[in-house]
Amino acid sequence: MKEKAVDRRIVRTKKALRDALTALMKEITFDEITVSDLTTRADINRGTFYLHYRDKYDLLEQSEEEVIEGIRSIRSQKQRLTKEDLPTFDYMNEPMPFVTELFAYVKENADFMRVILGPKGNPAFHVKLKAVMRDNMSQGILTHLDEAQLIVPIGYLSAYAISAQLGVIQHWLDSGMKESPEELSLINSKLVFGNPTTIYRKS
Protein backbone atom coordinates (compact mmCIF):
# COMPACT_ATOMS: atom_id res chain seq x y z
CA MET A 1 0.00 0.00 0.00
CA LYS A 2 2.87 2.34 0.84
CA GLU A 3 4.37 1.76 -2.62
CA LYS A 4 1.06 2.61 -4.29
CA ALA A 5 0.79 5.81 -2.26
CA VAL A 6 4.31 6.81 -3.37
CA ASP A 7 3.43 5.98 -6.99
CA ARG A 8 0.31 8.14 -6.79
CA ARG A 9 2.33 11.02 -5.38
CA ILE A 10 4.81 10.72 -8.24
CA VAL A 11 1.99 10.72 -10.79
CA ARG A 12 0.42 13.77 -9.14
CA THR A 13 3.76 15.59 -9.02
CA LYS A 14 4.52 14.89 -12.68
CA LYS A 15 1.02 15.94 -13.71
CA ALA A 16 1.35 19.17 -11.72
CA LEU A 17 4.64 19.95 -13.46
CA ARG A 18 3.27 19.14 -16.91
CA ASP A 19 0.23 21.30 -16.20
CA ALA A 20 2.55 24.09 -15.03
CA LEU A 21 4.61 23.77 -18.20
CA THR A 22 1.45 23.87 -20.31
CA ALA A 23 0.12 26.96 -18.54
CA LEU A 24 3.42 28.80 -18.79
CA MET A 25 3.82 28.00 -22.49
CA LYS A 26 0.49 29.73 -23.09
CA GLU A 27 1.98 32.89 -21.59
CA ILE A 28 5.65 32.93 -22.60
CA THR A 29 8.01 31.03 -24.85
CA PHE A 30 9.65 27.83 -23.67
CA ASP A 31 13.07 29.52 -23.73
CA GLU A 32 11.81 32.08 -21.20
CA ILE A 33 10.54 29.47 -18.75
CA THR A 34 12.76 28.68 -15.76
CA VAL A 35 12.70 25.79 -13.30
CA SER A 36 11.72 28.34 -10.64
CA ASP A 37 8.71 29.33 -12.76
CA LEU A 38 7.69 25.68 -13.03
CA THR A 39 8.07 24.82 -9.36
CA THR A 40 6.27 27.99 -8.26
CA ARG A 41 3.36 27.34 -10.64
CA ALA A 42 3.18 23.66 -9.62
CA ASP A 43 3.59 24.53 -5.93
CA ILE A 44 6.46 22.11 -5.34
CA ASN A 45 10.06 22.66 -4.28
CA ARG A 46 13.09 22.53 -6.59
CA GLY A 47 14.39 19.40 -4.91
CA THR A 48 11.23 17.53 -5.86
CA PHE A 49 11.56 18.75 -9.44
CA TYR A 50 15.11 17.40 -9.72
CA LEU A 51 14.03 14.02 -8.34
CA HIS A 52 12.14 13.49 -11.59
CA TYR A 53 13.75 15.72 -14.25
CA ARG A 54 17.25 16.89 -15.10
CA ASP A 55 16.01 20.26 -16.33
CA LYS A 56 13.10 21.88 -18.16
CA TYR A 57 14.16 20.22 -21.42
CA ASP A 58 13.87 16.80 -19.80
CA LEU A 59 10.40 17.72 -18.51
CA LEU A 60 9.32 18.74 -22.02
CA GLU A 61 10.82 15.62 -23.61
CA GLN A 62 9.24 13.26 -21.06
CA SER A 63 5.88 15.03 -21.35
CA GLU A 64 5.98 14.65 -25.14
CA GLU A 65 7.01 11.01 -24.86
CA GLU A 66 4.12 10.26 -22.49
CA VAL A 67 1.70 11.61 -25.10
CA ILE A 68 3.42 9.68 -27.90
CA GLU A 69 3.28 6.47 -25.86
CA GLY A 70 -0.41 7.05 -25.21
CA ILE A 71 -1.06 7.32 -28.94
CA ARG A 72 1.13 4.30 -29.62
CA SER A 73 -0.86 2.24 -27.12
CA ILE A 74 -4.06 2.84 -29.11
CA ARG A 75 -2.60 0.44 -31.67
CA SER A 76 -2.97 -2.47 -29.23
CA GLN A 77 -6.64 -1.85 -28.54
CA LYS A 78 -9.28 -4.20 -29.94
CA GLN A 79 -11.29 -1.73 -32.01
CA ARG A 80 -9.69 -2.46 -35.36
CA LEU A 81 -10.96 -2.96 -38.84
CA THR A 82 -10.10 -6.37 -40.24
CA LYS A 83 -9.47 -7.26 -43.85
CA GLU A 84 -12.97 -8.73 -43.96
CA ASP A 85 -14.49 -5.46 -42.69
CA LEU A 86 -12.96 -3.23 -45.36
CA PRO A 87 -15.16 -4.10 -48.38
CA THR A 88 -18.36 -3.41 -46.42
CA PHE A 89 -17.20 -0.57 -44.17
CA ASP A 90 -19.14 2.62 -44.87
CA TYR A 91 -16.44 5.31 -44.62
CA MET A 92 -18.91 8.07 -45.39
CA ASN A 93 -21.28 7.23 -42.54
CA GLU A 94 -19.24 5.32 -39.95
CA PRO A 95 -16.33 6.75 -37.96
CA MET A 96 -13.17 4.65 -38.11
CA PRO A 97 -12.60 3.10 -34.65
CA PHE A 98 -8.85 3.79 -34.44
CA VAL A 99 -9.20 7.41 -35.55
CA THR A 100 -12.03 7.92 -33.06
CA GLU A 101 -9.79 6.59 -30.28
CA LEU A 102 -6.99 8.88 -31.43
CA PHE A 103 -9.23 11.96 -31.28
CA ALA A 104 -10.58 10.89 -27.87
CA TYR A 105 -7.01 10.67 -26.56
CA VAL A 106 -6.19 14.08 -28.01
CA LYS A 107 -9.25 15.50 -26.23
CA GLU A 108 -8.07 14.03 -22.92
CA ASN A 109 -4.74 15.82 -23.38
CA ALA A 110 -6.13 18.88 -25.15
CA ASP A 111 -4.36 21.63 -23.18
CA PHE A 112 -0.91 20.16 -23.68
CA MET A 113 -1.58 19.20 -27.31
CA ARG A 114 -2.89 22.68 -28.12
CA VAL A 115 0.25 24.29 -26.73
CA ILE A 116 2.82 21.84 -28.07
CA LEU A 117 1.33 21.91 -31.58
CA GLY A 118 0.86 25.69 -31.51
CA PRO A 119 3.19 28.57 -32.43
CA LYS A 120 4.92 28.45 -29.01
CA GLY A 121 5.30 24.68 -29.12
CA ASN A 122 8.03 22.33 -30.27
CA PRO A 123 8.26 21.75 -34.05
CA ALA A 124 10.08 18.46 -33.37
CA PHE A 125 6.90 17.14 -31.74
CA HIS A 126 5.14 17.35 -35.11
CA VAL A 127 7.76 14.96 -36.50
CA LYS A 128 7.35 12.55 -33.57
CA LEU A 129 3.57 12.66 -33.84
CA LYS A 130 3.59 12.01 -37.58
CA ALA A 131 6.00 9.11 -37.06
CA VAL A 132 3.80 7.33 -34.50
CA MET A 133 0.69 7.97 -36.58
CA ARG A 134 2.51 6.49 -39.59
CA ASP A 135 3.49 3.43 -37.55
CA ASN A 136 -0.06 2.95 -36.30
CA MET A 137 -1.47 3.29 -39.80
CA SER A 138 1.11 0.94 -41.34
CA GLN A 139 0.25 -1.72 -38.75
CA GLY A 140 -3.47 -1.08 -39.03
CA ILE A 141 -5.59 -0.38 -42.08
CA LEU A 142 -2.67 -0.25 -44.55
CA THR A 143 -1.85 -3.89 -43.87
CA HIS A 144 -5.26 -4.84 -45.27
CA LEU A 145 -5.10 -2.79 -48.48
CA ASP A 146 -4.13 -4.28 -51.82
CA GLU A 147 -1.74 -1.71 -53.30
CA ALA A 148 -2.37 -3.09 -56.78
CA GLN A 149 -6.00 -2.03 -56.46
CA LEU A 150 -5.22 1.53 -55.32
CA ILE A 151 -5.22 4.46 -57.74
CA VAL A 152 -2.27 6.08 -55.91
CA PRO A 153 0.87 4.55 -54.31
CA ILE A 154 0.24 3.48 -50.73
CA GLY A 155 3.02 5.73 -49.39
CA TYR A 156 1.26 8.82 -50.74
CA LEU A 157 -2.07 7.65 -49.34
CA SER A 158 -0.45 7.24 -45.93
CA ALA A 159 1.28 10.65 -46.06
CA TYR A 160 -1.94 12.36 -47.17
CA ALA A 161 -4.06 10.67 -44.49
CA ILE A 162 -1.58 11.51 -41.72
CA SER A 163 -1.27 15.16 -42.77
CA ALA A 164 -5.06 15.38 -43.01
CA GLN A 165 -5.51 13.94 -39.52
CA LEU A 166 -2.92 16.30 -38.07
CA GLY A 167 -4.52 19.30 -39.78
CA VAL A 168 -7.96 18.25 -38.54
CA ILE A 169 -6.59 17.82 -34.99
CA GLN A 170 -5.02 21.28 -34.99
CA HIS A 171 -8.16 22.97 -36.32
CA TRP A 172 -10.31 21.07 -33.80
CA LEU A 173 -8.09 22.15 -30.91
CA ASP A 174 -7.92 25.76 -32.11
CA SER A 175 -11.68 26.01 -32.68
CA GLY A 176 -12.71 24.79 -29.22
CA MET A 177 -13.40 21.09 -29.91
CA LYS A 178 -17.10 21.59 -30.61
CA GLU A 179 -17.42 18.19 -32.32
CA SER A 180 -17.18 14.88 -30.47
CA PRO A 181 -14.32 12.48 -31.30
CA GLU A 182 -16.85 10.34 -33.22
CA GLU A 183 -18.08 13.30 -35.27
CA LEU A 184 -14.54 14.40 -35.99
CA SER A 185 -13.52 10.88 -37.01
CA LEU A 186 -16.34 10.84 -39.56
CA ILE A 187 -15.32 14.27 -40.89
CA ASN A 188 -11.77 12.96 -41.27
CA SER A 189 -12.96 9.85 -43.15
CA LYS A 190 -14.99 11.96 -45.57
CA LEU A 191 -11.98 14.17 -46.25
CA VAL A 192 -9.52 11.33 -46.74
CA PHE A 193 -11.63 8.70 -48.48
CA GLY A 194 -14.37 10.70 -50.16
CA ASN A 195 -14.40 12.16 -53.64
CA PRO A 196 -13.55 15.87 -53.19
CA THR A 197 -16.83 16.82 -54.90
CA THR A 198 -18.83 15.02 -52.20
CA ILE A 199 -17.92 17.63 -49.57
CA TYR A 200 -20.63 19.81 -51.17
CA ARG A 201 -24.23 18.99 -50.37
CA LYS A 202 -26.45 18.37 -53.37
CA SER A 203 -29.25 20.92 -53.69
pLDDT in tens, 54-87: 999 999 999 999 999 998 888 655 455 554 555 5
Dist CA 172 CA 110 (whole Å) = 10
pLDDT tens string 10-21: 999 999 999 999
Residue 5's SS3 state is: helix
Distance, in Å, from the CA atom of 42 to the CA atom of 34, rounded to the nearest integer, reads 12
DSSP 8-state assignment for residue 197: G
How far is 112 from 22, CA to CA, in rounded Å?
6
**pLDDT category, 90, cuts 50, 70, 90?**
low
Other beta carbons within 10 Å of 59 = 21
Q: How many CA atoms lie within 13 A of 4 on its CB side?
A: 1
pLDDT class for 145, splitting at 50, 70, 90?
low
Q: pTM to 2 decimals? A: 0.78
Contact 28, 56 (CB under 8 A): no
**For the stretch 3-19, what's the b/e string if a residue is b when 16 or more beta carbons lie within 10 angstroms of its beta carbon?**
eeeeeeeeeebbebbbe
**One-letter amino acid for residue 182 of the chain:** E
pLDDT averaged over the chain?
Answer: 82
pLDDT at residue 173 in the model = 96
DSSP letters for 99-166: HHHHHHHHHHTHHHHHHHTSTTS-HHHHHHHHHHHHHHHHTTGGGG--GGG-SS-HHHHHHHHHHHHH
Pick 84 or 33 by higher pLDDT: 33
CA–CA distance, 67 with 117 (Å, rounded to integer): 12
Give residue 200's pLDDT: 44
